[in-house]
């Protein structure tokens, strides 16, 4: 088809807003690449300079990212009136081919894709690069289910100036964040919002914001709250609703503050799904009957459709039995089963209300039909039935909530044995709530392994894991309260210290820093750490405020500063 620089063009792969993508051969090293080209012919000098600058800014930004979940940039250049970027050629398809299909993607597959995307975004954000156009067509799903983020075409280096007109909206309207729609300041949290739209679409088959034109969609993005994903896909757990809706919060400060935290929550959700599947497939007794019985004791282990069908069938069977037997008073006790079943397993309260009303209706008809009871006795019996039905549903609902909360608080990180981020955040929120009620003080610390990535690169991930596990053991032994520590990410830990004043917190962190340095040297692990800590004596506005204050103190430690920070 022709030549572009040293590359032999083989075929056209597609066209986009920034230019044409070709499949090409690189004769220098004998490999095939994808070439993204933009034709600058006919542009006036000023516009051409602007286009060239944006094009090379894209290459510079994307070329600095070397990550398994980001498309690799090999080369850039200019040939005549065409500027081009050579990148790896991917064998796979764009994700929009999957979200456009009629059937929803399996939940576990969605989680695996989402985790890989967040890993790539986290890496880019840590290097100061915001994608600004996350959408299904920029997410590549390779043949081995590996995911790569493509086209950092409107990415922004934090240290660079955007070379676009003032007020120019960057991104795809259907997947924009509120900040993009309003032409406000953009940061990594904008990518999290856009990916929240993609995630919603993968889980439900629909976008959370839709309309007849781009303006109506953008209005909804800024002003309207989306429905819970589980309202469109009843198989989704409550945890997934919380994750997606947190991504789609209108205010950036209410969203995940970084993609790493989002990835941690997605991994926790996947781990919970795996644990539940394992628990159901490998119970203590290996009979099919036991597996069926065990489903009754685990909230959400039964599908919502199965819950509704079973409850309705049970009610109809009880009505039939009531009509065929004279033991009508005793039959009322059987309504306990559908009421408990629905209240314990249903994600939707409307199904609980429907079951209670249906049960009361049939029981009321039955009571009115009692010929041997005087009116006053019928009234008393009706009141007892009403109160018992409501009480049974309420108690079963409370049991469901407590069961899920206990499971939520009992989740631990598999590598360190410490509480994971979801569990830890719940404990911090409880501490903040106690402070709002009773006053008092608590302290909070961040521990960062400064050189974990370099250690992984030089000595392998096993060495890095050993360092993390050793640090986790030090934390457990030093504070003797494993439930007040959490691993927040790949190289960060956090410590919650209830009823700890500033002086006690400073002393604790200083001793901890010394102990970490000593034991790391004994273990021949070249690890350096930074500890940032804060004391909270007034109720914060949100949990994010506590995390941000401690993280800022940690950055002070990394820069060698003093005050709420130490290095080891």
| Residues recognised as catalytic | 133
Question: 394: buried, middle or exposed (CB in 10 Å: 19+, 13-18, 0-12)?
Answer: middle
Are 557 and 522 contacting, i.e. CB atoms less than 8 angstroms apart? no
Nearest to 497 by CA among 507, 484, 515: 484
Q: Tell me how far apart the alpha carbons of residues 505 and 349 are, in angstroms, rounded to a whole number.
A: 44
Name residue, tokens 């398809």: 93
Bridge partner residues of 494 (DSSP): 446, 486
Q: Tell me how far apart the alpha carbons of residues 355 and 205 are, in angstroms, rounded to a whole number.
A: 29
Q: Which residues contact 266 (CB under 8 A, 6 or more apart)?
A: 111, 114, 115, 118, 243
Residue 71 is classified by DSSP as P
Q: Tell me how far apart the alpha carbons of residues 193 and 248 are, in angstroms, rounded to a whole number.
A: 5
| Alpha helices for 373-412 (secondary structure H) | 375-409
289 SS3 class = helix
Q: Tell me how far apart the alpha carbons of residues 264 and 490 are, in angstroms, rounded to a whole number.
A: 9
Other C-beta atoms lying within 10 Å of the C-beta of residue 10? 16
Q: How far are the Cα atoms of 376, 447, 449, 527 from residue 555, in angstroms, in the given order?
A: 74, 10, 12, 17
Name residue, tokens 């392994």: 449
Backbone angles phi, psi at 371, to 5 degrees: -80, -25
Residue 45 is classified by DSSP as H
Backbone angles phi, psi at 266, to 5 degrees: -65, -40
Are 87 and 36 contacting, i.e. CB atoms less than 8 angstroms apart? yes
Helical (H) or strand (E) element with 29: none
Q: Tell me how far apart the alpha carbons of residues 441 and 426 are, in angstroms, rounded to a whole number.
A: 18
Nearest to 86 by CA among 94, 98, 96, 77: 77
Q: Tell me how far apart the alpha carbons of residues 397 and 381 are, in angstroms, rounded to a whole number.
A: 24
């Amino acid at each position: 088809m022709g030549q572009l620089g040293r590359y032999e063009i083989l075929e056209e792969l597609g066209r986009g807003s920034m230019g044409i993508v070709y499949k090409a051969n690189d004769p220098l090293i004998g490999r095939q690449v994808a070439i993204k080209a933009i034709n600058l012919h006919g542009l006036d000098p000023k516009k051409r300079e602007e286009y060239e600058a944006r094009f090379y800014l894209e290459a510079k930004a994307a070329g600095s990212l070397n990550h398994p979940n980001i498309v690799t940039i090999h080369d850039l250049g200019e040939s005549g009136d065409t500027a081009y970027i050579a990148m790896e050629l991917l064998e796979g398809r764009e994700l929009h081919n999957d979200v456009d299909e009629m059937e929803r993607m399996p939940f576990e597959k969605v989680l695996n894709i989402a985790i890989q995307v967040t890993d790539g975004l986290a890496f880019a954000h840590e290097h100061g690069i915001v994608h600004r156009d996350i959408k299904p067509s920029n997410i590549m799903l390779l043949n081995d289910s590996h995911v790569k983020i493509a086209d950092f075409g409107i990415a922004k280096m934090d240290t660079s100036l955007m070379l676009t007109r003032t007020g120019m909206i960057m991104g795809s309207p259907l997947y924009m964040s509120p900040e993009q729609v309003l032409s406000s300041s953009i940061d990594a949290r904008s990518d999290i919002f856009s990916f929240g739209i993609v995630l919603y679409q993968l889980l439900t088959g629909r976008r959370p914001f839709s309309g007849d034109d781009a303006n109506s969609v953008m209005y909804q993005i800024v002003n309207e709250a989306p429905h819970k994903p589980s309202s469109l896909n009843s198989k989704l757990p409550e945890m997934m609703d919380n994750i997606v809706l947190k991504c789609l919060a209108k205010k950036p400060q209410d969203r995940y503050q970084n993609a790493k935290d989002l990835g941690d929550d997605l991994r926790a959700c996947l781990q919970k799904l795996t644990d539940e599947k394992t628990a159901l497939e490998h119970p203590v007794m290996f009979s099919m009957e036991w597996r069926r019985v065990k489903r009754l004791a685990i909230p959400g282990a039964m599908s919502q459709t199965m819950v509704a069908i079973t409850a309705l069938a049970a009610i109809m069977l009880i009505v039939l039995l009531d009509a065929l037997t004279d033991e009508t008073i005793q039959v009322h006790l059987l309504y306990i089963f559908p009421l408990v079943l629905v209240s314990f397993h249903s994600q939707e309260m409307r199904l609980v209300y429907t079951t209670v009303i249906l049960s009361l209706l049939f029981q009321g008809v039955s009571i009115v039909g009692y010929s041997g009871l005087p009116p006053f006795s019928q009234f008393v019996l009706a009141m007892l039935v009403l109160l018992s039905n409501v009480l049974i549903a309420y108690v079963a609902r409370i049991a469901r909530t407590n069961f899920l909360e206990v499971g939520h608080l009992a989740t631990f990180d598999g590598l360190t044995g410490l509480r994971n981020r979801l569990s830890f955040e719940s404990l911090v929120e409880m501490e903040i709530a106690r402070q709002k009620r009773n006053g008092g003080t608590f302290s909070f610390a961040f521990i960062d392994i400064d050189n974990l990535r370099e250690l992984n690169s030089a000595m392998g991930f096993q060495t890095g894991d050993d360092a993390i596990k050793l640090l986790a053991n030090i934390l457990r032994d030093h504070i003797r309260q494993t439930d007040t520590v959490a691993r927040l990410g790949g190289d960060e830990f956090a410590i919650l210290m209830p009823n700890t004043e500033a002086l006690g917190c400073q002393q604790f962190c200083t001793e901890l820093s010394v102990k970490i340095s000593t034991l790391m040297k004994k273990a021949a692990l070249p690890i350096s750490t930074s500890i940032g800590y804060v004391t909270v004596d007034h109720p914060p506005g949100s949990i994010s405020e506590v995390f941000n204050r401690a993280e800022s103190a940690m950055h002070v430690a990394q820069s060698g500063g003093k005050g709420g920070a130490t290095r080891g």
